[in-house]
C-alpha cells in the first residue's frame, strides 16, 4: 500500500462545483489514511491545472494520485500523461474518480451529490493505494495484411496496402475477383461503364508483386492477436493449372454439363468447366466440381482430352494454407435480400420479374442479351417496365427495417438506362421517398424524371400477378390518393441489401461483432467507423452497412490507411493491466483456462499451474471470477482492491 | 420469497445504500451518457466500474451485503455484445446462481439485480437505477447479511 497519496478535485468550472461541494471533498479526502496532499482547482485539465498537479507530485513526492473529475474516457490519458511526464511517476499510479457524469450531472441536491462524490473519490483512493507500477508490453508485428473479399472494397484496400509496400494476401471465395461491381452495366450518376473502370484495377491486382491472390478460398480459422495473426485458409481444388491455361475455350465446347451461370444471375447457361467472364482475374478456366460428371476420365474426361496445354488435372486436391499477418481487412460485401421472401411480387415465380442485378446484366453489353433490354420469357422488347423500390427495405414488420441506401439511385439509373435502350418505352417507379444525398445524385434523379419521363408514383405495390402474358402491378399512388393498376411487360425489384452469406461465419471466426441486421459492427459509429471491436481487424464496404461505390472505395482506403498506421511501427504496445497468477495459491484446477475467452491461460511448469500469456490476455478478469482460491487477479483491479472499493462505497 | 424477512418497511427518510457494479465498456459508458444527457436519478447507487460483468465474483455481492449494502446492482453488456466476447454469458450464469443462493439465505429478490445496459442506453441506465432504488426503498434496511459490529 502506498503512503503518499495526492487527491485533486476538479470544479470543471461550475459543471461539478454547482452540485458537489468540491472544497469539502478536497478537505475530507485530505483526512483519509495515506493521503498527504489534497486540493481542489477550477479546471484540472487546463494548462495551469496540469502544472499544479505535476508540481504537487514532485514537490510532495507523491506515490499515487487520484483525480476527481470527469469520466476516465475523457481525461484518464491526460492525467496519466501528466503523472508520467510532469510528475515523473508511473502513469498506472493515477486513477480517476468520475464525479461529473456519474454524480454532479445526474443529481440536483448538493448534500446528497457531495456525499456520493465523497464515496466515489474514497473508493478511487483505496484502489490507487494498491496499484502497481506497470509498463506497457511491446509486441513485434508481422508486416503483412490479409484482405478478405475481392470486390471493389477488397481490391481498393489491397492495392492501397500493396502500393504502400506491405505484403497483401487477398482471399476471395469465388473463381474471380470483381464482386458485384463487375456485374453492373453502368454506374450512377455519371453512367460510366462499370467493367471499364474496375477491370484495370483487377489486372493491377494480378500484376502487383506485393499481392498474393487466393481465389476459391475461404478463411477457416484465426488465432493470435493484433500484429500477429495466424490465419488458416482453405482453397478449393480448381482442377486447372492457371499457369498453363490458355483460355482457348476448347474444354467448355466439349463439356456435356450445362448449369446456370451465377455471374449472369442465372440468366445464361455455362458449362461445368468455365471462365465466369472474359476479363476474369485470375485469367483461367476453372472446373466446377459440383456440376462435373465426376472428375473421372472413365466417365467423361472430354475436357482433359481436348486441352492442348495439358492444363487440366483431375487429381488436384483442396489445400490448406496458413498465412501469418499483422492485420486483417474484412470486405465480404453484400447479397440481395432473398427473393423467396417477396412472394407478393412474384419474384421467382414469373420469369419477367427481375432483381436489380439481373436488370444490370440485361443492360450490359457483355450480358445475356448483348446489351438489349429483352424479356427473359419471350425475348421481346418490354414497352412498360415497373420498378419497385424498397423491396424488402424499410419494412420493420415483415422484412428489413433499415434503408438499403443505394436503391433510389440505382432505380433512377435503371429507368434512365431502360429509356436509352427503349426510347419509346415507359418506365414507372414506385417509391416511398427519394433519398438522393450525394454529389450529382439529386440532379440525376431529376433528369430521369424530366428528360427521360420516368413516372414516379409515391406508394407501395401490394401485388404482382400474371395475366395474358403481361404482369399486372397493383399499387397505390398516395399523392393522388388512388389505387393504380399497371400492365407491365417487366417488373424490376430494388431488393434490400443484406450482408453476404458467409458474413456471419467470417465474423464468428474472426471474433468480431455484428449489428442487429447482421452487418459487421464498427468499433464506434462516429469516430471509429472502419475498425472492428477486435484490435487489428478492419472493415470495408457493404459488409459493414449498405453503401454505394464511392463510399465503399473511401472506406476501403480508410481501412488501408489505418492498417498502414498500425504496421508502420516495429512494435505494438499492449495494455499491461493483465491477469497475474499467485502460484502459491494455484491448484491447477483449470477453471480459468476454460473460462478465458482468449485462450490466454495454460497450465505450465513442473506443478502444472496456471500461466498467463501476457500478449493474449486482455485483462477482462473473467478468470478471477471463476477462481475458487482467488489465485488469479487482474493487475490494478485485483479482488482485494474491489473489496476495498466496496467498503469505501458503503462508508465502512 | 419477498416476505421472508420481516423488517421495518418504508421507514420514513430511509435512504438505501446501493453498490452498482458497472461494466467499463457498456453500462459505465451508458451512465456517462446519462450524465451527458443530464438525466436525473437518485444518488443512492454508488458506481464501481469493473472491466467486465464476467469479472464479477459472487464474493463481491456477498461482501457488499455483509458490509451493509441494502441493494446490489450488476450491469453489463447485452448478451452477445460482450466487449470480451463472452464474459457476460459467464456473468449471467453466475448471477443466476447467486440469486438462488440469496433466496436460500432468505434475502428478498429485489435487493439484488442484474441489468443489461449498452453504452448507447443512457435513458435505460437512469431508469434501471431509479426503479431499483424505489424497489429497495420499499424493503427497508437490509439486516439479514449485514455483519454485526
Does residue B71 belong to the interface with chain A, where contact is any CB pair within 8 Å?
Answer: no
Cβ-defined contact of A646 to B60 (cutoff 8 Å): yes
Mention every residue, 6+ apart, whose C-beta is less than 8 A from residue B91: A625, B52, B53, B54, B56, B74, B76, B114
B87 → closest Cβ in A120, A597, A651: A597
Average pLDDT of span A269-273: 95
The grid cell for A446 is: 431529376
Does residue B83 belong to the interface with chain A, where contact is any CB pair within 8 Å?
Answer: yes
Does residue B7 belong to the interface with chain A, where contact is any CB pair within 8 Å?
Answer: no
Q: Pick the more confident residue, A225 or A454.
A: A454
ipTM of this complex: 0.93
Alpha-carbon distance of A435 to A415, in angstroms, equals: 16
In this structure, of A37-51, B7-21, B44-58, the range with the lowest mean pLDDT score is: B7-21
Peptide bond into A282 cis (omega under 30): yes
Query: Which DSSP symbol is given to A103?
Result: I
Which residues in chain B are contacts of A647 at CB distance < 8 A? 67
Cβ-defined contact of B38 to A106 (cutoff 8 Å): yes
Residue ranges of B 103-122 with Cβ closer than 8 A to chain A: none
Query: Which DSSP symbol is given to A637?
Result: S
Q: For A578-634, give the CATH class.
A: alpha beta
In this structure, of A13-17, B4-8, B79-83, the range with the lowest mean pLDDT score is: B4-8
What is the pLDDT confidence band of residue A623, given thresholds at 50, 70 and 90? very high
pLDDT tens-digit series, residues A196-206: 999 999 999 99
Residue written as cell 446484366? A361
pLDDT tens-digit series, residues B73-107: 999 999 877 888 789 999 999 999 999 999 999 99
The half-sphere exposure of A321 on its side-chain side, counting CA atoms within 13 A, is 23
Alpha-carbon distance of A80 to A89, in angstroms, equals: 9
Does residue B86 belong to the interface with chain A, where contact is any CB pair within 8 Å?
Answer: yes
Angle between helices A194-207 and A152-163 (to 10 degrees): 40
Three-state SS string over A224-246 comes to EECCEEEEEEEECCCCECCCCCC
- For an interface test with A, give the residue of B27, B34, B47 to mutate (most A CBs within 10 A): B47
Asked if the model's pLDDT at residue A296 lies above 80, the reply is: no
Which residues in chain A are contacts of B67 at CB distance < 8 A? 646-647, 650, 652
Using a 10 angstrom Cβ sphere, with 0-12 exposed, 13-18 middle and 19 or more buried, the burial of residue A548 is middle
Cβ-defined contact of B43 to A649 (cutoff 8 Å): no
Mention every residue, 6+ apart, whose C-beta is less than 8 A from residue A396: none
Nearest-Cα residue of chain B relative to residue A594: B90
- From B142's Cα to the closest Cα of chain A, the distance in A is 13
User: Which has the closest alpha carbon to A90: A115, A123, A64?
Assistant: A64
In this structure, of A288-302, A489-503, A592-606, the range with the lowest mean pLDDT score is: A288-302
Does residue B1 belong to the interface with chain A, where contact is any CB pair within 8 Å?
Answer: no
Cβ-defined contact of B43 to A112 (cutoff 8 Å): yes
Contact present, A55 and A48 (Cβ < 8 Å) = no
Cβ-defined contact of B90 to A622 (cutoff 8 Å): yes
pLDDT tens-digit series, residues A122-149: 999 999 999 999 999 988 899 999 999 9
Alpha-carbon distance of A591 to A440, in angstroms, equals: 60
Asked if the model's pLDDT at residue A297 lies above 80, the reply is: no
Listing DSSP states for A411-473 in one string gives HHHHHHHHHHH-TT-EEEEEES-----STTHHHHHHHHHHTS-PEEEES-EEEEEEETTEEEE
Select A5-136's CATH number: 3.30.420, 1.20.120, 3.40.50, 2.30.29: 3.40.50
Nearest-Cα residue of chain A relative to residue B95: A625
**Do A347-495 and A144-234+320-333+500-567 have the same topology in CATH?**
yes
| Domain residue ranges in chain A | 5-136, 144-234+320-333+500-567, 250-306, 347-495, 578-634
User: Which has the closest alpha carbon to A633: A643, A644, A623?
Assistant: A623
Residue ranges of B 20-59 with Cβ closer than 8 A to chain A: 28-29, 31-36, 38-43, 46-52, 54-59
Cβ-defined contact of B86 to A597 (cutoff 8 Å): yes
Cβ-defined contact of A652 to B68 (cutoff 8 Å): yes
User: What integer pLDDT is reported at residue B10 of this predicted model?
Assistant: 55
- From B2's Cα to the closest Cα of chain A, the distance in A is 24
Mention every residue, 6+ apart, whose C-beta is less than 8 A from residue B96: none
What is the pLDDT confidence band of residue B4, given thresholds at 50, 70 and 90? very low
**Three-class SS of residue A300?**
coil
Which residues in chain B are contacts of A108 at CB distance < 8 A? 40
What are the Cα distances from residue A83, in Å, to A77, A87, A305, B64, B94?
A: 10, 5, 77, 32, 38
CATH code: domain A347-495 is: 3.50.50.60
Residue written as cell 508490453? A137
Mention every residue, 6+ apart, whose C-beta is less than 8 A from residue A167: A143, A144, A145, A210, A212
What are the Cα distances from residue B116, in Å, to A25, A422, B22, B31, B87?
A: 32, 57, 10, 12, 13
Cβ-defined contact of B57 to A625 (cutoff 8 Å): yes
Q: For B18-50+70-139, give the CATH class.
A: alpha beta
Which residues in chain A are contacts of B96 at CB distance < 8 A? none
Alpha-carbon distance of A205 to A210, in angstroms, equals: 9
The half-sphere exposure of A249 on its side-chain side, counting CA atoms within 13 A, is 5
Residue written as cell 496532499? A37
Cβ-defined contact of A634 to B51 (cutoff 8 Å): yes
Which residues in chain A are contacts of B84 at CB distance < 8 A? 597-598, 618, 620, 622
Nearest-Cα residue of chain B relative to residue A511: B85
Kind and range of the H or E element at A93? none
Average pLDDT of span A421-450: 96
Cβ-defined contact of B32 to A106 (cutoff 8 Å): no
Per DSSP, what are the bridge partners of residue A138?
Answer: A573
Q: Pick the more confident residue, A581 or B10.
A: A581
Alpha-carbon torsion (A295, A297, A303, A309), positive or negative: positive
Nearest-Cα residue of chain B relative to residue A596: B87
pLDDT tens-digit series, residues A488-500: 999 999 999 999 9
Average pLDDT of span A381-389: 96
A107 → closest Cβ in B36, B40, B67: B40
Mention every residue, 6+ apart, whose C-beta is less than 8 A from residue A164: A560, A564
User: What integer pLDDT is reported at residue A615 of this predicted model?
Assistant: 84
Nearest-Cα residue of chain B relative to residue A513: B81
Q: Pick the more confident residue, B7 or A637.
A: A637
Average pLDDT of span A100-118: 96
Residue written as cell 461503364? A193
Cβ-defined contact of B64 to A626 (cutoff 8 Å): no
Does residue B84 belong to the interface with chain A, where contact is any CB pair within 8 Å?
Answer: yes
Contact present, A287 and A175 (Cβ < 8 Å) = no
Contact present, B9 and B139 (Cβ < 8 Å) = yes
The grid cell for A357 is: 442485378
Which residues in chain A are contacts of B51 at CB distance < 8 A? 619-621, 634, 637
The grid cell for A634 is: 487482474
What are the Cα distances from residue A20, in Å, to A105, A206, A269, B37?
A: 10, 65, 75, 18
| Domain residue ranges in chain B | 18-50+70-139
Cβ-defined contact of A643 to B63 (cutoff 8 Å): yes
Asked if the model's pLDDT at residue A639 lies above 70, the reply is: yes
User: What integer pLDDT is reported at residue B3 of this predicted model?
Assistant: 46
Residue written as cell 436460500? B104
Q: Tell me the pTM.
A: 0.76
Cβ-defined contact of B48 to A533 (cutoff 8 Å): no
User: Which has the closest alpha carbon to B51: B69, B79, B28, B78?
Assistant: B28
Q: What are phi and psi of B64, to 5 degrees?
A: -60, -45
Strand A167-171, strand A211-214: pairing: parallel
Residues above pLDDT 90, as percent of chain A: 87
Q: What average pLDDT does the structure give for chain A?
A: 94
In this structure, of A358-372, A528-542, B4-18, the range with the lowest mean pLDDT score is: B4-18
A621 → closest Cβ in B52, B58, B59: B52
User: Which has the closest alpha carbon to B58: A611, A630, A586?
Assistant: A630
Contact present, A431 and A458 (Cβ < 8 Å) = yes
B50 → closest Cβ in A101, A595, A637: A637
Which residues in chain B are contacts of A76 at CB distance < 8 A? none
What is the pLDDT confidence band of residue B11, given thresholds at 50, 70 and 90? low
> Quick one: fold of A144-234+320-333+500-567?
FAD/NAD(P)-binding domain (3.50.50)
Mention every residue, 6+ apart, whose C-beta is less than 8 A from residue A169: A144, A145, A146, A147, A211, A212, A214, A231, A233, A323, A325
Alpha-carbon distance of A275 to A277, in angstroms, equals: 5
B48 → closest Cβ in A105, A113, A642: A642
- From B45's Cα to the closest Cα of chain A, the distance in A is 8
Average pLDDT of span A447-472: 94
B54 → closest Cβ in A100, A107, A620: A620
Contact present, A58 and A34 (Cβ < 8 Å) = no
- From B16's Cα to the closest Cα of chain A, the distance in A is 10
Cβ-defined contact of A642 to B19 (cutoff 8 Å): no
* CA diameter of chain A: 94
Which residues in chain A are contacts of B68 at CB distance < 8 A? 650, 652
User: What integer pLDDT is reported at residue B24 of this predicted model?
Assistant: 93
Which residues in chain A are contacts of B39 at CB distance < 8 A? 106
Contact present, A615 and A596 (Cβ < 8 Å) = no
Strand A319-325, strand A228-235: pairing: antiparallel
- From A627's Cα to the closest Cα of chain B, the distance in A is 9
Kind and range of the H or E element at B85? none
In this structure, of A60-64, B10-14, B144-148, the range with the lowest mean pLDDT score is: B10-14
User: What integer pLDDT is reported at residue B8 of this predicted model?
Assistant: 47
Interchain CB contacts (distance < 8 Å): A and B: 134
Residues counted in chain B: 149
Which residues in chain B are contacts of A12 at CB distance < 8 A? none
Residues above pLDDT 70, as percent of chain A: 100
Peptide bond into A436 cis (omega under 30): no
Amino acid at each position: 500500500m502506498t503512503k503518499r497519496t495526492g487527491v485533486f478535485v476538479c470544479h470543471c468550472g461550475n459543471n461539478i462545483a454547482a452540485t458537489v461541494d468540491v472544497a469539502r471533498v478536497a478537505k475530507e479526502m485530505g483526512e483519509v489514511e495515506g493521503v498527504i496532499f489534497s486540493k481542489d482547482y477550477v479546471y484540472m485539465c487546463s494548462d495551469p491545472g496540469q502544472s499544479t498537479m505535476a508540481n504537487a507530485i514532485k514537490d510532495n513526492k507523491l506515490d499515487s494520485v487520484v483525480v476527481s473529475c470527469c469520466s476516465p474516457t475523457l481525461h484518464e490519458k491526460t492525467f496519466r500523461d501528466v503523472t508520467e511526464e510532469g510528475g515523473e511517476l508511473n502513469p498506472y499510479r493515477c486513477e480517476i474518480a468520475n464525479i461529473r457524469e456519474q454524480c454532479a450531472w445526474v443529481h440536483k441536491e448538493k448534500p446528497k451529490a457531495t456525499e456520493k462524490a465523497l464515496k466515489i473519490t474514497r473508493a478511487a483512493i483505496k484502489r490507487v493505494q494498491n496499484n502497481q507500477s506497470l509498463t506497457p508490453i511491446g509486441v513485434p508485428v508481422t508486416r503483412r495484411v490479409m484482405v478478405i473479399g475481392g470486390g471493389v472494397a477488397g481490391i481498393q484496400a489491397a492495392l492501397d496496402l500493396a502500393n504502400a509496400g506491405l505484403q497483401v494476401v487477398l482471399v476471395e471465395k469465388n473463381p474471380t475477383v470483381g464482386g458485384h461491381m463487375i456485374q453492373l452495366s453502368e454506374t450512377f450518376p455519371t453512367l460510366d461503364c462499370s467493367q471499364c473502370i474496375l477491370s484495370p484495377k483487377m489486372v493491377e491486382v494480378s500484376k502487383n508483386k506485393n499481392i498474393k491472390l487466393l481465389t476459391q478460398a475461404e478463411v477457416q480459422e484465426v488465432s493470435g492477436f493484433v500484429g500477429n495473426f495466424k490465419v488458416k485458409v482453405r482453397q478449393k481444388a480448381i482442377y486447372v493449372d492457371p499457369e498453363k491455361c490458355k483460355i482457348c475455350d476448347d474444354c467448355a465446347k466439349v463439356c456435356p454439363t450445362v448449369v446456370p451461370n451465377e455471374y449472369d444471375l442465372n440468366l445464361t447457361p455455362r458449362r461445368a468447366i468455365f471462365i465466369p467472364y472474359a476479363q476474369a482475374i485470375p485469367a483461367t478456366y476453372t472446373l466446377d466440381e459440383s456440376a462435373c460428371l465426376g472428375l473421372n476420365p472413365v466417365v467423361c474426361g472430354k475436357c482433359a482430352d481436348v486441352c492442348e496445354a495439358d492444363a487440366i488435372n483431375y487429381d488436384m486436391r483442396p489445400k490448406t494454407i496458413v498465412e501469418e499477418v499483422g492485420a486483417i481487412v474484412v470486405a465480404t460485401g453484400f447479397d440481395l435480400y432473398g427473393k423467396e421472401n417477396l412472394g407478393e411480387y412474384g419474384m421467382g415465380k414469373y420469369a419477367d420479374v427481375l432483381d436489380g442485378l439481373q436488370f444490370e446484366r440485361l443492360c450490359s453489353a457483355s450480358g445475356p442479351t448483348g446489351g438489349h433490354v429483352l424479356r427473359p420469357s419471350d425475348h421481346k422488347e418490354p414497352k412498360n417496365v415497373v420498378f419497385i423500390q424498397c423491396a424488402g427495405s424499410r419494412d420493420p414488420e415483415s422484412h428489413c427495417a433499415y434503408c438499403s441506401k443505394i436503391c433510389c439511385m440505382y432505380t433512377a439509373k435503371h429507368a434512365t438506362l431502360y429509356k436509352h435502350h427503349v426510347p419509346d418505352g415507359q418506365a414507372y417507379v414506385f417509391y416511398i421517398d427519394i433519398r438522393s444525398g450525394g454529389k450529382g445524385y439529386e440532379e440525376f434523379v431529376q433528369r430521369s424524371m424530366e428528360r427521360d419521363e420516368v413516372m414516379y408514383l409515391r406508394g407501395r405495390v401490394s401485388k404482382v400477378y400474371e395475366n395474358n402474358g403481361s404482369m399486372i402491378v397493383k399499387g397505390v399512388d398516395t399523392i393522388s390518393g388512388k389505387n393504380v393498376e399497371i400492365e407491365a411487360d417487366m417488373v424490376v425489384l430494388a431488393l434490400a441489401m443484406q450482408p453476404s452469406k458467409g458474413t456471419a461465419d467470417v465474423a464468428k471466426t474472426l471474433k468480431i461483432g455484428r449489428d442487429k441486421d447482421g452487418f459487421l459492427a464498427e468499433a464506434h459509429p462516429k469516430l471509429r467507423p472502419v475498425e472492428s471491436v477486435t484490435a487489428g481487424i478492419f472493415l470495408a464496404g457493404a459488409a459493414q452497412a449498405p453503401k454505394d461505390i464511392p463510399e465503399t472505395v473511401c472506406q476501403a482506403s480508410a481501412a488501408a490507411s489505418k492498417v498502414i498506421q498500425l504496421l508502420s511501427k516495429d512494435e505494438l504496445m499492449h495494455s499491461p493491466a493483465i491477469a497475474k497468477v499467485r502460484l502459491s495459491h494455484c491448484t491447477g484446477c483449470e477453471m480459468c483456462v476454460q473460462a478465458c475467452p482468449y485462450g490466454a491461460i495454460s497450465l505450465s511448469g513442473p506443478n502444472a499451474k496456471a500461466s498467463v500469456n501476457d500478449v493474449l490476455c486482455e485483462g477482462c478478469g473473467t478468470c478471477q471470477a471463476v477462481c475458487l482460491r482467488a489465485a488469479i487477479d487482474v493487475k490494478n483491479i485485483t479482488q482485494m482492491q474491489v473489496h476495498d472499493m466496496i467498503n469505501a462505497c458503503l462508508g465502512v | 420469497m419477498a416476505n421472508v424477512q420481516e423488517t421495518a418497511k418504508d421507514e420514513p427518510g430511509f435512504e438505501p445504500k446501493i453498490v452498482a457494479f458497472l461494466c467499463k465498456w457498456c453500462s459505465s459508458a451508458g451512465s456517462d451518457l446519462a450524465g451527458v444527457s443530464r438525466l436525473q436519478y437518485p444518488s443512492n447507487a454508488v458506481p464501481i466500474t469493473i472491466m467486465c460483468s464476467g469479472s464479477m465474483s459472487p464474493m463481491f455481492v456477498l461482501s457488499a451485503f455483509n458490509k451493509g449494502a441494502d441493494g446490489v446492482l450488476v450491469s453489463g453488456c447485452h448478451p452477445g455484445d460482450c466487449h470480451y466476447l463472452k464474459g457476460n454469458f459467464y456473468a449471467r450464469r453466475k448471477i443466476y446462481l447467486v440469486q438462488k443462493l440469496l433466496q436460500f439465505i432468505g434475502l428478498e429478490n429485489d435487493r439484488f439485480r442484474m441489468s443489461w445496459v449498452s453504452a448507447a442506453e443512457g435513458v435505460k441506465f437512469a431508469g434501471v437505477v431509479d426503479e431499483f432504488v424505489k424497489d429497495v426503498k420499499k424493503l427497508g434496511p437490509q439486516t439479514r447479511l449485514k455483519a454485526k459490529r
